[in-house]
Amino acid sequence: MSAHSVTSSSGSPLHAIMAEFPNPAVVSHAAEKIRDLGYSKWDVYSPFPIHGIDEAMGLKPSRVSFFAGAGAITGITIALLMQWWMSAVDYPMVIGGKPYFAWEQYLPVTFELAVLMTSISAIVGMLALNGLPRLYHPMAKKDRFLRVGDDRFIIAIEAADPKFNADDIRKLLADLGGEHIDEVEE
Amino acid sequence: MSSIHPDQAEALGLVGKRGPGAERDPETIDGTITDDPTRRVPLVLGNRDFHSVTETICGWVENKTPNWWFPAFAVSNVLAIVGTVMILFLIVTGVGVWGLNNPVSWGWAIVNFVWWVGIGHAGTLISAILCLLKQNWRTSINRFAEAMTIFAVICAGTFPGIHVGRVWFAWFLFPIPNYNWIWPNFRSPLLWDVFAVGTYFTVSLLFWYMGMIPDLATLRDRAIARFNQKVTFGPMWAPHPLPAFVKKLTTVSIPANKIASYFYGVLALGWRFSSRHWWNYEKAYILLAGVATPLVLSVHSVVSFDFAVSIIPGWHTTIFPPYFVAGAIFSGFAMVLTLLIPARALYPGMKDFVTARTIENMCKIITLTGSMVGFAYIMEFFIAWYGANPYEAEAFMIRAFGPYWWAYWIMMFCNVLSPQVFWFKWCRTNIVFIFIISIVVNIGMWFERFVIVTTLSADFVTSSWGYYAPTWVDILTFVGSLGIFMTLFLLFCRFLPMLAISEVKNVMPQADPHHPMYHKDGHHNGDHHHASDRSEGGH
């Protein structure tokens, strides 16, 4: 991470440079500029998902769908195999004159397990892709960052970014309308 | 951005028009009731900014417990304890303490189970189906309704669990390897029910929790900001003022904010409002809404199979699944209104989020689903005659004119007639009246299940007919389940964010980065067009 080993003004390793923006319009506009300048390790923090911020930041389509799809297939497979093995192989018993593997009657359980596995894997996948749960993050040290869940919009460009240059970034964030530009120590 | 979208201009205009005088307008109530379908009414009133939304919703959790809460919690707790004692009494004695007989081997337990599961349908309907239909008014009630769903399903799940008689064998419901080398019968609707209700509970809980993660993070950050402020409980029992040394002895200071920051911090999983996270989060949310939509429709269908797949006259009908689902949504919305209307009156500022329009929309859904239920009742009767099956016809005649005629006509009055009042504007804008109707609907839906279950009392052979009446244990168990429900609900109101803070903010006009209010001065316009021709092309 600290290939450049960037340090803050006090000499400790630097995580990022952050700036506060007054509203979603300004922060989206700033995000578009930062995207166009080719930065890769940076983030926009906002109290709610800003409409169109994915475009403004140049985010790729979310991969949560793959987790959900894998969950659905797993659920269907487990359900059908389980019912087939339990009702037709391990404990075959004629009930209501139906075949041992009466697949029509196995559909409700198959559907329910597919929904269950899809939901669990979508949420687990979402958390995994986001690197959560996480006990600590350098941004959490900043008092101003505690207001991001309320009404603040913050952009932080990380020191790990290959194009990182503290002076350029300070100037860039100020030009884009950023206020309270500050260093975030690791 | 020279042209302003008419929707945005309309929303902006309406927000601007609102003032203190608009509170008691007989026509528009709080400014949100309009007969003009081209007008888009604001979803959040009171000219609020993001900060005031956070302050109000978090305030319900962070401020001093309101005075009404303690007596309400005490009463709910007493009822919950009564219910728990009744369940223990049942377990140590046996199901004979209930009024069950032969032929009525399913009594209040199954009535209560179906009633509670039905109530539990509103939450996921509001969060999933209304989400897919982009009904933004749902954002102010979805958290509330989802919580209600989870607590209702907890109450529902209790009844089949204790109905098995030997509760210690309840694990036979699940396909667990056992020493008898037997497996459950996957061709039985009763087993489908285990999977349907189990899945519904798990998915509803996950959906509710995932929706709450950002709001829990907001509460965490606010608790951290007040980290070192202690909360002091003064002497509540003694007359004031007290001598200083007594005061010192009886005053308790606890680091409440420190505890809260850990409590919400653990639950928030380290959420930090990153847009990269929001992007995955929204995808997961919409996927969950997508799979929860057929789930909502499937759960009560499967519950109805418990009846419809049997060969009892009056149960063995194909109309059961759709009619159970409509009834479930009907009763669920009624229960949401029963809880929401008092909460809206008791919590300061809640009326700005749960507007008269939101309540009106819910009334319309009640009328729609109530009409479906009414249609199903009449169609059932018609088919009983038209189908020319004497047992079916007799079952329905006994329902309407037999020993349980009173239950049938209570059901018809509460479920068929009462929801039709919402065709009148006065009825769906008068809060007290809506509250009364919501309770009437809850009663009616309970009687619907009672009418269906007591069909058992008239068996095929007249010699095996038997009248079913509940015992005091049946009644107190049901009352106890209401107590368990209310206890959980009051705890939710006290400790968790009752409204979805981030979702409410997201439907406010300020949240839209392309809103004309941000482009009035023309300062950003040129830059904006230049930098974002990619995103502009998508519009």
Can you tell me which residue has the tokens 């087939």?
A84
Q: Does B141 touch chain A (CB under 8 A)?
A: no
d(CA B450, CA B444): 10
Domain annotation covers residue A99: yes
* Same domain? A87 vs A115: yes
Domain annotation covers residue A144: yes
Q: Angle at which helices B320-346 and B431-453 pack, to 10 degrees?
A: 150
Q: Which residues contact B83 (CB under 8 A, 6 or more apart)?
A: B476, B477, B479, B480, B481, B482, B483, B484
d(CA B318, CA B313): 12
Domain annotation covers residue A3: no
Q: What is the pLDDT, as a whole number, of residue B482?
A: 95
Domain annotation covers residue A4: no
Q: Which residues of A touch B284 (CB under 8 A)?
A: 62, 64, 68, 122-123, 125-126
**DSSP-H helix ranges across chain A:** 24-36, 53-57, 64-84, 103-129, 166-175
Helix, coil or strand: residue B500:
coil
Nearest to B186 among A36, A109, A115 (CB): A109
Boundary-marking domain end, from A129, A153, A177: A129
**Residues, chain A:** 186
* Same domain? A71 vs A124: yes
DSSP B410-462: HHIIIIIIGGGGGGSHHHHH-HHHHHHHHHHHHHHHHHHHHHHHGGGGS-SSG
Nearest to A115 among B203, B273, B528 (CB): B203
* Same domain? A125 vs A143: no
Q: Which residues contact A19 (CB under 8 A, 6 or more apart)?
A: A154, A155, A156, A173, A174, A176, A178, A179, A180, A181, A182
d(CA B99, CA B276): 58
Phi, psi dihedrals of residue B363, rounded to the nearest 5°: -60, -40
* Same domain? A101 vs A79: yes
Question: What pLDDT, in 10s, does the model give residues B509-528?
Answer: 888 888 888 876 544 444 44
**Neighbour count for residue B517 (Cβ, 10 Å):** 14
Q: What is the mean pLDDT of chain A?
A: 88
Phi, psi dihedrals of residue B182, rounded to the nearest 5°: -120, 160
Confidence of residue A5 (pLDDT cuts 50, 70, 90): low
Can you tell me which residue has the tokens 């041992």?
A100
Domain span including residue A154: 14-61+136-185
CA distance A6 to chain B (A): 23
Question: Does residue B124 contact residue B292 with C-beta atoms inside 8 Å?
Answer: yes
Give the DSSP H/E element, type plus range, for residue B54.
Answer: helix B50-62
Q: Does B527 touch chain A (CB under 8 A)?
A: yes
* Same domain? A83 vs A169: no
* Same domain? A56 vs A140: yes
Question: Does residue B190 contact residue B309 with C-beta atoms inside 8 Å?
Answer: no
CA distance B310 to chain A (A): 12
Q: What is the pLDDT, as a whole number, of residue B285?
A: 92
* Same domain? A79 vs A105: yes
Q: Angle at which helices B472-495 and B142-163 pack, to 10 degrees?
A: 150
Query: Nearest to residue B434, comparing CAs of B361, B487, B326?
Result: B361
Which is it for strands B231-233 and B252-254: parallel, antiparallel or unpaired?
Answer: antiparallel
d(CA B277, CA A127): 9
How many CA atoms, within 13 angstroms, populate the side-chain half-sphere of residue B427?
15
Q: Which residues of A touch B207 (CB under 8 A)?
A: 119
Low-confidence ranges of chain B (pLDDT < 50): 1-23, 522-539
Asked whether the beta carbons of residue A48 and residue B511 sit closer than 8 angstroms, the reply is: yes
* Same domain? A100 vs A115: yes
Give the DSSP H/E element, type plus range, for residue B482.
Answer: helix B472-495
Q: What is the pLDDT, as a whole number, of residue B163?
A: 87
Q: How far apart are the first and last CA of chain A?
A: 11
Can you say whether residue A38 is alpha, beta or left, with left for phi > 0 and alpha for psi between -120 and 50 degrees? Answer: left
**Neighbour count for residue B240 (Cβ, 10 Å):** 7
Phi, psi dihedrals of residue A45, rounded to the nearest 5°: -110, 125
Domain annotation covers residue A111: yes
Query: Nearest to residue B363, comparing CAs of B48, B29, B44?
Result: B29
CA distance B210 to chain A (A): 8
* Same domain? A124 vs A71: yes
Domain annotation covers residue A35: yes
Nearest to B278 among A49, A132, A135 (CB): A49
Q: What is the pLDDT, as a whole number, of residue B129?
A: 86
Asked whether the beta carbons of residue B291 and residue A150 sit closer than 8 angstroms, the reply is: no
- Percentage helix, strand, coil, to 5, in chain A? 50, 15, 35
Question: What pLDDT, in 10s, does the model give residues A167-176?
Answer: 888 888 888 8
In angstroms, the Cα distances linking B343 to B60, B68, B248 are 11, 11, 36
Asked whether the beta carbons of residue B275 and residue A147 sit closer than 8 angstroms, the reply is: no
DSSP A182: E
At position B226, the amino acid (one-letter code) is R
**Neighbour count for residue B16 (Cβ, 10 Å):** 10
ipTM, interface predicted TM-score of the complex: 0.92
d(CA B503, CA B123): 16
Q: Which residues of B touch A143 (CB under 8 A)?
A: 225
Domain annotation covers residue A41: yes
CA distance B1 to chain A (A): 13
CA distance A13 to chain B (A): 21
* Same domain? A51 vs A74: no
Phi, psi dihedrals of residue B105, rounded to the nearest 5°: -90, -5
Q: What is the pLDDT, as a whole number, of residue A1?
A: 44
Boundary-marking domain end, from A86, A114, A129: A129
Can you tell me which residue has the tokens 């479930």?
B328
Q: What is the pLDDT, as a whole number, of residue B252?
A: 66
Asked whether the beta carbons of residue A115 and residue B292 sit closer than 8 angstroms, the reply is: yes
CA distance B50 to chain A (A): 5
Instruction: Report the domain count for chain A.
Output: 2
Q: What is the pLDDT, as a whole number, of residue B231?
A: 67
Nearest to A62 among B225, B279, B501 (CB): B279
Nearest to B513 among A28, A43, A96 (CB): A28
Can you tell me which residue has the tokens 């929309």?
B361
Domain annotation covers residue A7: no
Q: Does B186 touch chain A (CB under 8 A)?
A: yes
In angstroms, the Cα distances linking B66 to B100, B122, B347, B484, B524 are 43, 27, 9, 21, 46
* Same domain? A37 vs A87: no
Asked whether the beta carbons of residue B224 and residue A146 sit closer than 8 angstroms, the reply is: yes
* Same domain? A89 vs A122: yes
Nearest to B284 among A36, A82, A126 (CB): A126
**Res A158 pLDDT > 70:** yes
